[in-house]
Amino acid sequence: MKFNEIVKNESIIKAIDKMGFEEMMPIQEKAIPFVYEKKDVIGHAKTGTGKTAAFAIPILEFVKPKTKSIQGLILVPTRELAKQVADEIKRLAYYQKGISICEIYGGISYTKQKAELKAQPTIIVATPGRLIDLLERNYLTLDSISHLVLDEADEMLSIGFQKELETIVTYLNDDRQTMLFSATFNKNVEKIAKQYLTNPTKISVVDEDKVANSIEQKYLCVNNNEKQATLLKLLKLHHNQLIMVFANTKKEVDLLVSYLQENKIMAEAIHGDLVQKMRENVLKKFKDGIVQVLVCSDVAARGLDIKGVDVIINVDIPYEKEYYVHRVGRTGRANSTGIAYTLISGNKERRIKQLAKELKTNIEKMKPITNKDIKKIEQKAILTEIEDAIVNNQDDQLERIKPLLKKGYDLDSIFNGLLNYVFKENDIETNDNESARLFVNLGSKDKFSKRDLVKLFNVKNEKLKDIEVMQNFAFCTLENVNVEQKIKELNKKKFNKKRVKVEYANN
């Protein structure tokens, strides 16, 4: 359905045309007719599906610009989402005279917000905490609100805004239209829907818990103490791509950023402790490609409007299934492809397999990344740079090799020597030595001891750590060795006539 088939306000249609939209998205097509009928609406739709326009367009048609009072209130969980929603409503209201939109969230000075509220904006987009703060300071009243929207309701409850919502509703008149939009619909969301909405129409455009087919999903089994090094290897595999890294806590986010910056990776953090100006600056640098890696907590990342993300890396499996879907859904958008990695430690491999089963998706187990893999990528990058130089016809460098030509060397010989030099340098920077936790198919019942393991591996003692010999098998950590080569070597051996089997451990 086209917007002009249902939207009657010419100023809004003009703004929609300016934004480049013509066809409605599913949530808009299904929700807008019911909102026009002034019914309470529950919209079940993921972030990025066009739900802002689904409630904003009818509200902009309903409000009366000449009436100097706050008529619409949109509550959102985060500052980023407040700014994003407000910006979209401003674009939709671009040609409407007398309509003003006010953003209320922490990080904006009280003086500025007091002045904006004194001017009686038409619509407010607010986070619950700051709104209550301003209500208690008597900076505004909400008794003229005719349209209330609870956007990303599941995330507001997840953050812990239930009491704030209860408080805010006490400031409102009962005679209002209420809309609730949520990416997931759990018992808590259902509870507040019953509390605040009257005979609502429920609309769903969500294939619940589905990961797009355009996203390739992989997981790696690593020890906790190897996660940072593994993350660094993944970043090297995806050099010059935009990458979002997710951690389960703010502390983890900060630790990862510090580690990456120490390793000369352009990384920045996004979490709840950053002041608004810093957050906006970080997002701008990421969108502009100045920062390659954005390390996020789940709550802070909700509602961020970021396009063109190539890679998602979860440094641990998230606590909730919905968070996994939301994280990996940051890539593979708008008919593009993406890849998502999850690092698994301890006994969590069972969890990732269960997650894949519940989501009816394929999350492929990946072999540990070796320095050989990194070397191949770096060498490919060198060839790409050489090709770019050829295509872009950069400065002629033949003058530099004239001394070699005078000595009788032909261009093929010089070129081959140059490649040997370039790739030899690359080899020096990336040696094959690495560390890994290994599984051995020999245990005490095979009369296999720690001493036997050391003898079997035939490496210096300091390169073998954390040896554990169980009844049926053994584990050890091999450090500063070409692990792939060592595994191949060991798997050709026998111990007491039993074939030795060594492989990477799952934990």
The model's pLDDT over 190-240, given as tens digits with 9 standing for 90+, comes to 999 999 999 999 998 866 567 888 899 999 988 888 899 899 999 988 988
The pLDDT-based confidence of 499 (bands split at 50, 70, 90) is very high
| Average pLDDT of every residue of the chain | 86
Segment 155-171 shows an average pLDDT of: 92
Segment 152-156 shows an average pLDDT of: 91
The answer to whether domain 3-204 and domain 434-504 are alike in fold is no
Tokens standing for 505?
A: 């451990």
Tokens standing for 458?
A: 């035939």
pLDDT at 424 over 70: no
pLDDT at 428 over 50: no
What residues have CB less than 8 Å from 118, skipping those under 6 apart? 139
Tokens standing for 154?
A: 């599941």
pLDDT at 267 over 60: yes
User: What is the DSSP annotation of 299-347?
Assistant: HHHTT-------EEEESS--SSHHHHHHHHTTSS-TT--EEEEEEE-TT
User: What is the DSSP annotation of 26-71?
Assistant: HHHHHHHHHHHTT--EEEE--TTSSHHHHHHHHHHHHS-TTS-S--
Tokens standing for 484?
A: 């792939």
In angstroms, the Cα distances linking 259 to 268, 287, 295, 346 are 11, 22, 11, 22
Which pTM value belongs to this model? Answer: 0.54
Q: Are 77 and 130 in contact (CB under 8 A)?
A: no
Q: Identify the CA nearest to 446 among candidates 424, 465, 471, 468.
A: 471
Distance of CA 410 to the CA centre of its chain: 52
The model's pLDDT over 110-124, given as tens digits with 9 standing for 90+, comes to 999 999 999 999 999
Tokens 């003003």, residue?
A: 100
Q: CA-CA distance, 244 to 456, in Å (whole number)?
A: 42
- Selected residue with higher pLDDT from 42 and 222: 42
The pLDDT-based confidence of 429 (bands split at 50, 70, 90) is very low
Angle (CA) 179-184-190 rounded to 5° is: 60
Does domain 434-504 sit in CATH 3.30.70.330? yes
pLDDT at 7 over 50: yes
Kindly report the three-state secondary structure assignment for every residue of 226-261: HHHHHHHHHHHHCCCCCEEEECCCHHHHHHHHHHHH
Q: Mean pLDDT lowest for which of 95-99, 153-157, 258-262, 317-321?
A: 317-321
Superfamily in which the 215-365 domain is placed by CATH? P-loop containing nucleotide triphosphate hydrolases (3.40.50.300)
What is the per-residue pLDDT for 484?
Answer: 81
What is the per-residue pLDDT for 276?
Answer: 66
In 193-234, beta strands by DSSP E: 201-204, 215-221
What is the per-residue pLDDT for 395?
Answer: 64
For the chain, the domains span 3-204, 215-365, 372-429, 434-504
Q: Identify the CA nearest to 295 among candidates 213, 228, 354.
A: 228
The model's pLDDT over 329-385, given as tens digits with 9 standing for 90+, comes to 888 876 678 999 999 986 788 889 988 988 889 999 998 887 777 777 777 777 777
Which numeric CATH code is attached to 3-204?
A: 3.40.50.300
The model's pLDDT over 272-315, given as tens digits with 9 standing for 90+, comes to 677 767 877 888 888 888 898 999 987 656 656 677 889 999 99
Tell me the percentage of the chain whose pLDDT exceeds 70: 92
What residues have CB less than 8 Å from 136, skipping those under 6 apart? none
What is the per-residue pLDDT for 256?
Answer: 94
The pLDDT-based confidence of 431 (bands split at 50, 70, 90) is very low
